[in-house]
Amino acid sequence: MKEDKIEEAAPKDLEKLNRSALMDVTTRLIKHLDKKSISGRLSESEVEKMRDSKTRLLIEAVKTHGSLLKDEALDAIEERLKKLEDRVK
């Protein structure tokens, strides 16, 4: 699996992640955390603390993004249901 470099982008340049892309992010994160748990800490505890902090932020961002994707899917289902109900009336 290739390592993606994280680049900061202006909000107008950001692409919305779909479920597949979100699964890729979580897969990379899980593999990273698994390797980290096996290999142990880095020699510099401050660097390790910073990395752990960023990992926690990433996990929260992934959870939030996943929740938003679910909300979007539910909104689409609700809209389709409303259209079907309107047709039946």
Which residue range forms the structural domain that includes residue 22? Answer: 16-88
Assigned domain for 28 exists: yes
Residue 78 resides in a domain: yes
Mean pLDDT by 10 residues, the chain (89 residues): 56 75 84 74 76 84 87 94 92
Q: According to DSSP H, which parts of 1-89 are helical? A: 19-39, 45-88
Identity at 3, one-letter amino acid code: E
In angstroms, the CA 79 to CA 19 distance is: 20
pLDDT of residue 89: 80
Instruction: Work out how many domains the chain is built from and give that number.
Output: 1
Kindly give, in sequence order, each residue whose CB lies less than 8 Å from that of residue 62, ignoring residues fewer than 6 positions away: 22, 25, 26, 29
61 assigned to some structural domain: yes
Whole-number pLDDT of residue 6: 57
